[in-house]
Structure 1
Amino acid sequence: MIAAAGAGLRAGDEIPKQYHVVAGRSVLAWSLDALLAVPGMSGVMLAVAAEDTRATTLPAAEDSRVHFCSGGAERAASVRSALRALAAIGAGDEDWVLVHDAARPAVAVSDIERLVDAVGDEPDGGLLACPVRDTLKRADANGAVAETAAREGLWQAMTPQLFPLGRLRDALDAADDRVTDEAGAMERMGARPILVAASLSNIKYTYPEDAPLLARWMISTGGEGA
């Protein structure tokens, strides 16, 4: 499923960032096509805002595997809604669900395949991520350095994240909407998801300055990451 119900105001436009055009196509179109290209993908559920009229006009929306549901104000609410919608069209608790953020258009299909292969039948699931490379500073209330944080063992979480539908639903039902990713909800239930290294290109489109960088990656690789 793809979480695509957010307003994306930090990207600097009244238009939701998933519909910003990068390298000739919308951010959501790139993300949707990446998931549809994964071998064995049986369907993709898009969780969009209730007032969204753009999603159904995407070229890939004509694919019979693409479905739509109304998302929520927070990411966790959108994922819960998508899981219910998947169950309503026949998905079972043991089926595996990839949860992707619409704002990561440069995800490489090969990375998603590696995630699926690495997780296998591991019930705790897994996620794409990247080891932290830079020195980390913690700021105080005045914006000055309070301390330098050790980066050893730290990873930057990305998407997609892969979990069994039933376990993910239960984890999200037990969590509140402030949980920032699915792995975090699973961890609260005692799970230890597998970290699978992803390409550096799999950045989240958050700020206006991200668009030119993503566009270069998309043009140079044809949408297959870096």
Structure 2
Amino acid sequence: MTTSSKAIFAIIPAAGIGSRMQSSLPKQYLTINGKAILEHTLERFLNHPQIEQVIVPLHQDDVWFEHLAVAKHPKLQAILGGQERSDSVLAGLQAIEWPQSPFVLVHDAARPCITQQDINKLIDAARKHEDGAILAMPVRDTMKRSDSNNCIAQTVDRSQLWHALTPQIFDKEQLQQAIIETQRLGINITDEASAIEALGGKVQLIGGSFDNIKVTHPQDLQIAKLFMQAQEQAL
């Protein structure tokens, strides 16, 4: 099978319980325009014509997902996630049943403004780069490294620094093996690319859109709402 004909799946880990939103709800269930952040995010992938299936790993005590309108979508499969993000992603990978190893997009549940254009760019990149690709943005601001007292210890050259975003896309078998191996070796991975990197892979950076915001703090909700409104007006 050539890379141009490989199937594409998406995994949206949603088993986390955020602590920075000052809310009793997990942040993925806070609402923007009357709809949960997670639902906005899932719809961006469910509506993409090239994606076969979307898998959402959930916390074992999740009582909110089943009430979302999107929960019964025929392309959506909810599964039990794990304690760490990598555990949830691995569970999602193991839930994929497909004759040939597909491409898998992994995306943060709290990034509801991802565009179809950025998803397309990433899929195109995966067909050209055997170790996968991620959306990222070049660092714009002056970067400082601090000492233990939060005093500036060094100004860091930003010329080759990037903010890692999601989605990130990899061959399913390659990513699954990388996560299993890094877990076995006790290597801390902060995103899917870091698992591939740890085993010597060369992951491609693809410039992403500024509006691909991750909702982490309360004020991010309003920013995400503004981005969504701008995206709708541009259609």
Q: Same fold (TM over 0.5)?
A: yes
- Counterpart of 2:98? 91
Is contact 2:134-2:169 (8 Å) kept?
Answer: yes
State the distance in 1 between where 2:177 and 2:220 align: 34
> Relative to 1, partners in 2 of residues 1:121 and 1:93: Cα closer, same or farther, differing over 3 Å?
farther
- Counterpart of 2:62? 52
- Counterpart of 1:18? 28
> Relative to 1, partners in 2 of residues 1:93 and 1:191: Cα closer, same or farther, differing over 3 Å?
farther
- Counterpart of 1:185? 195
CA drift of 1:43 comes to 0.3
Q: Is 2:81 the partner of 1:75?
A: no
SS at match of 1:152: coil
Count of paired positions = 222
Map of 1:5-154 to 2, 5 A cutoff?
5-86=15-96, 90-92=97-99, 94-154=101-161
State the distance in 2 between where 1:140 and 1:199 align: 32
State the distance in 2 between where 1:224 and 1:53 align: 35
CA drift of 1:52 comes to 0.9
Structure 1 segments of 4 or more deviating over 6 A?
A: none
Percent identity over paired residues: 37
State the distance in 1 between where 2:222 and 2:13 align: 23
State the distance in 2 between where 1:174 and 1:140 align: 33
> Relative to 1, partners in 2 of residues 1:224 and 1:3: Cα closer, same or farther, differing over 3 Å?
farther
SS at match of 1:222: helix
- Counterpart of 2:5? none
State the distance in 2 between where 1:224 and 1:93 align: 38
State the distance in 2 between where 1:32 and 1:223 align: 21
> Structure 1 length normalisation: TM-score?
0.93
Partner amino acid, structure 2, of 1:85 = A
State the distance in 2 between where 1:223 and 1:142 align: 46
CA drift of 1:141 comes to 1.0
State the distance in 2 between where 1:179 and 1:107 align: 23
> Relative to 1, partners in 2 of residues 1:224 and 1:136: Cα closer, same or farther, differing over 3 Å?
farther
Is contact 1:108-1:223 (8 Å) kept?
Answer: no
| Structure 2 counterpart of 1:163, from 157, 160, 170 | 170
- Counterpart of 1:172? 179
CA drift of 1:224 comes to 8.3
Q: In the TM superposition, what whole-angstrom CA distance separates every residue of 1:92-133 from its partner, at most 9, and x where no partner exists?
A: 562110001101111111100111012215320101111111
RMSD in angstroms over aligned alpha carbons? Answer: 1.7
Partner amino acid, structure 2, of 1:214 = A
Give ranges in structure 2 of 5+ residues lacking alignment.
1-10
Map of 1:187-206 to 2, 5 A cutoff?
187-206=197-216
State the distance in 2 between where 1:33 and 1:223 align: 18
CA drift of 1:196 comes to 0.9
Is contact 1:22-1:215 (8 Å) kept?
Answer: yes
State the distance in 2 between where 1:24 and 1:222 align: 16
Q: In the TM superposition, what whole-angstrom CA distance separates every residue of 1:123-163 from its partner, at most 9, and x where no partner exists?
A: 20101111111111111111111111110111111111000
Is contact 1:23-1:219 (8 Å) kept?
Answer: no
